[in-house]
Structure 1
Amino acid sequence: MPKKKYQVEFSINASPSLLYNYLSNPSGLSEWFANNVNSRGEKYTFIWDGHEESAFLMKSKQDTYVRFQWEDDEDTKYFFELNIVVDELTNDVSIVITDFAEEDEVEESKELWESQIEDLKKVLGSK
């Protein structure tokens, strides 16, 4: 079954460089995204309550974005990307998340991201 692409955006009160560290480094990711994150080169292993999933860092650009692809997704058109966007006028920072989910799981997937980003905001001390 083909997956559906969707995007969600969250305002974050943090500098792009600080944010990038939390999105790209295993130690930063393990503070909000998973219980533990290990990496060997481009391969990241995410651990949640004993459950493990691996993803590859496909692309990244310092202070701008990271794109991962889950190892289970044979189709390279499926990925999740965390994009740091700075508003040119207000300098407000937000994260735009691009992800894919089965049609009937998109809402659930969005809610999961919302919960993850809430955790990230707590770690950053952001409101």
Structure 2
Amino acid sequence: MSNKIELEYELKTRSGSAVWALISTPIGLKKWLADDVTIEEDSATFIWGDPLREHDTHTATIVDMVKNNYIRFHWDSSESDSFWEIKMFHSEIAGNYHLLVTDFVEDDDVEGLEQFWNKKIDRLHRITGM
């Protein structure tokens, strides 16, 4: 059984264009999500690890994207209809942008997936200062 998880993270920025670049471009995604990212049309390739040595490569299809709002991917290796999505939104209270990550995981790995996203967002904070 697959579980939908939603994780919200506050960023220390008021720049929507900077946030959008981090979640929708290869250069932005490469800064925090994967070691290498390429996007050609609606196909994205994510590489974790050293591309010349031991690494893990996954491809995904960009299912939907609304500029300055969200980007939704589907792992090509997945047989289910599940997706993962990164959505940005502006908090009127604090004035900063937030990311809402939606992902799906099997019952026995909810904690592992939450740790994965927490680790990646920590990296985003360290590298960008956001």
TM-score (norm 1): 0.92
Partner of 1:122: 126
Partner of 1:63: 68
Partner of 2:10: 11
Where in structure 1 are there 5+ consecutive unaligned residues? none
* 1:95 shift after superposition: 0.6
Aligned length, in residue pairs: 124
CA contact under 8 A between 1:34 and 1:46: conserved in structure 2? yes
Aligned-residue Cα RMSD (Å) equals: 1.1
Q: Report matched runs for 1:27-66 at 5 Å.
A: 27-49=27-49, 50-66=55-71
Where in structure 2 are there 5+ consecutive unaligned residues? 50-54
Q: 1: CA distance between counterparts of 2:12 and 2:70?
A: 17
TM-score (norm 2): 0.90
Q: 2: CA distance between counterparts of 1:3 and 1:51?
A: 23
Partner of 1:73: 78
- Identity, in percent, stands at 28
Partner of 2:52: none
* 1:11 shift after superposition: 0.6
* 1:79 shift after superposition: 0.5
State the SS of the aligned residue for 2:104.
strand
